[in-house]
Copies of this chain bind each other. A is one copy, B any other.
């Protein structure tokens, strides 16, 4: 990855970590246990790719950095709550996340369920506060957009399809629908959040379309890495999807077909950035970064 992209990615991760640390202070009361679990889940790092999209978009459109950071913190709360709940025994039953015990292994299942619930709730409390934007119409637009991307018509709906074994016969169109909901919606919200902050409808349409394509490309490269990658590259055991008998873009299109799909999605994603000219450099590089993960 290019030097300025790597620098910007690391700077965003550092800034959003600090904001999350401030927004979820440890609590001394007997309810402090759930707050500790929230902090454990949300402060464990990760690439912070969604915050990067938000902050790079804000940089490009001239939105206030503090507004972008708080929006990024809210999105990470949603992303991390979904990981806590997805890791539960009743869902994907994962014991490890980024090399550490998952929340329900480190604490217990009840604490994991509650920590997820509290993070989901806090995301909206953060967006509702005046510090996120002095304009209440913008705050409600962020809340409506994040809720839609996260709920039954977005991330939760996608996880439902993924779990309900309804995917046993999914073709490429079905897999695309699943991924658009499960991961695409939240990535598209992140990519277009700065346009919401600037109340710029044209930019929002373009960046949302960019985000959906980047999100889908991300999943297609995940499927490719599941076949070709090392565990270090993908952060989990390769071959897991194949062992579970799940249809993937690779199983449906072959390795060559999946690679071609990823490449053409990223071409289309980058095309949506044309209206921003050279200002979109970082978002252009973010798309390349997604593709490079598999090489």
Footprint of B on A, CB under 8 Å?
27, 29-31, 33-35, 38, 81, 85, 88, 90-91, 108-111, 113-114, 116-118, 120-122, 124-125, 127-129, 135-137, 139-141, 143-144, 147-148, 150-153, 156-161, 163-164, 166-167, 174, 177-178, 181
Q: Is A120's CB under 8 angstroms from B122's CB?
A: no
- 18 A-B residue pairs with Cβ-Cβ distance under 8 Å, sorted by A, are A27-B157, A30-B161, A30-B164, A30-B166, A30-B177, A31-B160, A33-B164, A34-B157, A81-B117, A85-B114, A91-B110, A110-B163, A111-B163, A114-B156, A117-B117, A124-B147, A136-B136, A136-B139
Known contacts A30-B161, A117-B120, A161-B30, A38 near B152 by CB under 8 Å: yes
Q: Is A90's CB under 8 angstroms from B118's CB?
A: no
Given A90-B109, A124-B124, 18 more A-B residue pairs with CB atoms under 8 Å apart are A29-B157, A31-B153, A33-B160, A38-B152, A85-B114, A88-B113, A113-B113, A114-B156, A117-B117, A121-B150, A121-B152, A125-B148, A128-B143, A129-B140, A136-B137, A140-B140, A140-B143, A143-B143
Q: Is A147's CB under 8 angstroms from B160's CB?
A: no
Give the shortest distance, in Å, between A260 (CB) and chain B (any CB). Answer: 26
A-B CB proximity, top 9 nearest: A31-B157, A90-B109, A125-B147, A136-B136, A121-B151, A34-B160, A128-B144, A118-B152, A128-B143
Q: Is B29's CB under 8 angstroms from A156's CB?
A: no
Contacts of A163 in B (CB 8 A): 110-111, 114
Contacts of A34 in B (CB 8 A): 152, 156-157, 160
Interface-central residue, A129, A164, A177, by most chain B CB under 10 Å: A164
How would you classify the secondary structure of chain A's contact residues: helix, strand, loop or mixed?
helix
Q: Is A122's CB under 8 angstroms from B31's CB?
A: no
Contacts of A29 in B (CB 8 A): 157, 177
Give the shortest distance, in Å, between A44 (CB) and chain B (any CB). Answer: 18
Contacts of A127 in B (CB 8 A): 143
Give the shortest distance, in Å, between A190 (CB) and chain B (any CB). Answer: 16
Question: In the bound complex, what is the Cα–Cα distance between A181 and B143 (angstroms)?
Answer: 24
Contacts of A147 in B (CB 8 A): 121-122, 124-125, 128
Question: In the bound complex, what is the Cα–Cα distance between A120 and B81 (angstroms)?
Answer: 12
Task: Look across to chain B and name the residue whose beta carbon is closest to the beta carbon of A147.
Answer: B125
Give the shortest distance, in Å, between A34 (CB) and chain B (any CB). Answer: 4
